[in-house]
Structure 1
Amino acid sequence: MLDWFEHEGHVCIVFELLGLSIFEFLRQNEFLPFSVEQIRRMAFQIFKAVCFLHRNKLTHTDLKPENILFVRSDYDLEYNEDLVREKRLRSLDLKVVDFGNTTFDHEPHESLVSTRYYRAPEVILGLGWNQSCDVWSLGCVIMEFYLGRALFPTHDSKEHLAMMEKVLGPIPPHLLKQTRKKHYVHSECLNWDDEYIRKHCRPLKLYMQMQNEEERQLFDLLSCMLEYDVSRRITLEEALWHPFFSPLRT
């Protein structure tokens, strides 16, 4: 915090001036996806920032491209390999912002957290949440960097869960047994039959565009982050040691 002042009854806080959010840059760049190398450098910074929060017993709870800002967003116009003119950032330095909903481990936890597209299944099912909900959100964010669009673009909870099943496979029955939202469940399975989802969503590995080692490593990391069972979901501390980040550690 650099300064603060009051304006018409509101307390205003002055922070350093940063560049565009990742969402705004994507929007201005025609939603062209980032390269795997750009994703690696961006994700490593974001994971370190949120890992710092987690070590200090905090959960951000609202991680999304709008809340991750470039330090500077100046760019050059270049033609990519498909001869499409795109904005190429001169720096990929990032900062995580907006701690308005950040929650200490010991504080009461609101039942509903995270912006819809980035909301973890345990939150939707009302099973309670902890720091691992940030890991799920970041899995969705990294996939958005790769695709240039949201992985789960919906505003309906049941449709959201159905999209997860199409992309990640069935939700484990033991999680569905625990939820009080029984209208989502039939015979211990998620109750859905949606032609739109069948057409527009596909299994995670089928989104992979290049069958090379670095993309396999990226998708292995994503599958560890987008794990339904909180007890099996990777932590950010572990994620920073994933082979995908080896080039940045050496």
Structure 2
Amino acid sequence: MSHHNRSPTSPIPSDSPSTPPTPTSPSHRAPLNHSSDSQDSLSTPPIRSPPSPQFIQDTSATEDESDYEEDNNMGVFEFSGRRYSLRKMLGEGSYGKVYLAVAESRRMYAVKYFKMQSGETAEDYRAAIGPEERIYDHLGSSVHDNIAKVTGIGFVSYAPDNCYRKVILMPLYGISLATMIAQSKVLDTENRRLNGLDSQPKVSYRIPDIRELGSKLLSGIDFLARHSVLHLDIKSDNILFMHQNAFHVEYNIDRHSFIVPDNLHIVISDFGMGKREKDVGPMAELVQTEIYRSPEIFVGCLPNSRTDIWSVGMIMLELYTTGDDFESPIPDQQELRRFRNLQFGINEYMTPELWEEAASTEGGDAVRGPIKLYDNGPADRSAPRLSDLKRSHHADGLFAFLHDCLILDWNRRPTAKQLLRHEFFQNQ
């Protein structure tokens, strides 16, 4: 069973049209900021001049493409009567490619092409683009600040080799949560190495920022729920910051360094696995990337209106720990071991009634993979309790929220609307 279940409409973007400054670039050096925690500062060795913590992303989609020379054109296509030139591939996945597209007005967009798979022809485009197109057609003119917008879906006059000519044209957003975390870890590792410390990165978002990001994420999920839409691939790769968003890392030599974005506006993107509730069939299917996968999908049940809520909880935990906390160190049967570790972590376990629901779901065996019905095996010895991951009392509210969000029983997990009223979001 694959651990990377990308959908046919989910190419993996590199998230930024240009490469950010490297940590060792002498032209991007700046003094370090030292953030304090609730404990007294320990004596520390002298701090060497580190690389700058600032990463600045590309210009806004409302600005022109002056950084891109005309001879960078990779191809020209027409869409809804307007001409666009492809300037750079932003990312490529198993099923698609995303390019930077520049209009004649010099406004920049992202265009998503879908690859023809082995044995497919130009007439098979519907299976590739269908899921996202159905979602956006269903949403129609309804929009939300935290849902990625689409400029248009349609046929173009040009496509790269082995790609369909039906594309999705969208605004050019910024980097993802996943990319910001990864870049921050690189920078923090270099800072620690320069100071003669263990080079393992220790980064985290601040609690107020986790609160705001979580609120925006839940607001987007609530909007989708009100329109009977399931995203089914909520993960940090699919949460994008708005363009021209810089961030820096406040280095802390003793504890976790803080990732500090300049702007916390985010959008949920990539509906390649999305479904309208009425399209959820009687047969189980594998959705959600494993780290964010909900218990009902692990055991082979059908997705429901609460399935995305579990993924939101896992992202909010990731914003705090920036790690994969329930991954098994044992490579054999990773999904089975992860599911056991999750149950141990939240101290909730599958009941006979939940197993019976799983057993009665058509197609559940194929989705469960190595997880057997009525499994009650032990978690890894290294598996943490959720509460063990809390570093200080400053995170009490966050972990109270996680306790109420990460509910194993999908029939009683709260909705996004209910969670937005949680005390964690009321105590600003």
Q: TM-score, normalised by structure 2?
A: 0.52
Q: Quick one: which amino acid aligns to residue 345 of structure 2?
A: V
Match of 1:198 in 2: 381
> Which stretch has the larger CA shift, 120-129 or 150-159?
150-159
Structure possessing the higher radius of gyration over alpha carbons: 2
Instruction: Map residues 137-176 of structure 1 onto 2, 5 A cutoff.
Output: 137-153=311-327, 156-169=334-347, 170-176=349-355
CA contact (8 A) 2:327 2:334 kept: no
Instruction: Map residues 1-250 of structure 1 onto 2, 5 A cutoff.
Output: 1-3=150-152, 5=156, 6-8=158-160, 9-30=164-185, 32-72=203-243, 73-76=245-248, 78-80=250-252, 82=254, 88-109=260-281, 111-153=285-327, 156-169=334-347, 170-180=349-359, 184=371, 190-193=375-378, 197-199=380-382, 201-212=383-394, 215-247=395-427
Once superposed, what is the RMSD of the aligned Cα atoms?
2.5
Q: Quick one: which amino acid aligns to residue 145 of structure 1?
A: L
The CA deviation at 1:75 is 2.3
1:86 and 1:226 mapped to 2: Cα distance? 25
2:404 and 2:249 mapped to 1: Cα distance? 35
More helix by share: 1
1:165 and 1:107 mapped to 2: Cα distance? 29
The CA deviation at 1:108 is 3.1
Q: Quick one: which amino acid aligns to residue 399 of structure 2?
A: F
Unaligned runs of at least 5 residues, structure 2: 1-149, 186-200, 360-364
Structure with greater contact order relative to length (CA < 8 Å, sep ≥ 6):
1
1:80 and 1:11 mapped to 2: Cα distance? 49
Q: Quick one: which amino acid aligns to residue 168 of structure 1?
A: I
The CA deviation at 1:13 is 2.0
The CA deviation at 1:80 is 3.9
CA contact (8 A) 1:39 1:145 kept: yes
Q: Deviations over 1:145-181 (max 9, x none)?
A: 1101123336733112111122012322321243335
1:77 and 1:202 mapped to 2: Cα distance? 27
Q: 1:145 to 1:85 in 2, by over 3 A?
A: closer
Q: Quick one: which amino acid aligns to residue 103 of structure 1?
A: K
Q: 1:83 to 1:10 in 2, by over 3 A?
A: same
Q: Quick one: which amino acid aligns to residue 21 of structure 1?
A: S
2:257 and 2:210 mapped to 1: Cα distance? 20
Percent identity, please: 24
CA contact (8 A) 1:140 1:150 kept: no
> Which stretch has the larger CA shift, 174-183 or 119-128?
174-183
The CA deviation at 1:84 is 7.3
Q: 1:107 to 1:176 in 2, by over 3 A?
A: same
CA contact (8 A) 2:205 2:260 kept: no
Unaligned runs of at least 5 residues, structure 1: none
The CA deviation at 1:121 is 0.9
Q: 1:245 to 1:193 in 2, by over 3 A?
A: closer
Q: 1:85 to 1:114 in 2, by over 3 A?
A: closer
1:28 and 1:174 mapped to 2: Cα distance? 44
2:310 and 2:247 mapped to 1: Cα distance? 30
CA contact (8 A) 1:21 1:68 kept: yes
Number of residue pairs matched by the alignment: 241
> Which stretch has the larger CA shift, 136-145 or 78-87?
78-87
2:254 and 2:214 mapped to 1: Cα distance? 25
Match of 2:139 in 1: none
